């Protein structure tokens, strides 16, 4: 049984699973709450399927520094690790 994380977490079990997978508290809470609300976007593309220019734009949007010198693999890793 999942521990109650308070009113701010809408799906405690999913939140705990995401935390065990290494997601940050903030990211796990966003995903768990979006899933509980039914607004989780299931049409997201895999980062590996996106172009380097798309990844650069995403990295710029979320504020990753040093992105212009990163390879596609490094950009994917940085984007996944953000948050």
Q: Are residues 1 and 35 both part of a single domain?
A: yes
Closest CA to 58 of 10, 39, 49: 49
Q: Are residues 36 and 72 both part of a single domain?
A: no
- In the prediction, which pLDDT does 69 show? 96
Q: Are residues 25 and 2 both part of a single domain?
A: yes
Domain count, the chain: 2
How is 8-62 classified by DSSP, letter by letter?
Answer: T-S-HHHHHHHHHTT--HHHHHHHHHHHHHT---TTPPPGGGS-HHHHHHHHHHH
Q: Are residues 16 and 30 both part of a single domain?
A: yes
Is this structure's pTM higher than 0.85?
no
Q: Are residues 40 and 4 both part of a single domain?
A: yes
- In the prediction, which pLDDT does 74 show? 95
- For residue 4, the enclosing domain spans 1-44
Q: Are residues 38 and 53 both part of a single domain?
A: no
Torsions phi, psi of 37, nearest 5? Answer: -80, -20
**What is the chain's pLDDT, residue by residue, as a tens digit (83 residues)?**
667 767 788 788 888 888 899 988 888 888 888 877 766 655 556 888 889 999 999 999 999 999 999 999 999 999 988 86
């Amino acid at each position: 049984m999942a521990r109650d994380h308070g009113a701010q977490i809408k799906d405690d079990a999913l939140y705990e699973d995401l935390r065990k997978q290494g997601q940050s508290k903030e990211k796990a809470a966003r995903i768990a709450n979006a899933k509980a609300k039914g607004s989780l976007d299931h049409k997201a593309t895999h980062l590996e399927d996106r172009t380097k220019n798309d990844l650069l734009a995403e990295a710029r949007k979320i504020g990753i520094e040093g992105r212009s010198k990163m390879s596609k693999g490094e950009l994917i890793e940085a984007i996944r690790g953000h948050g």
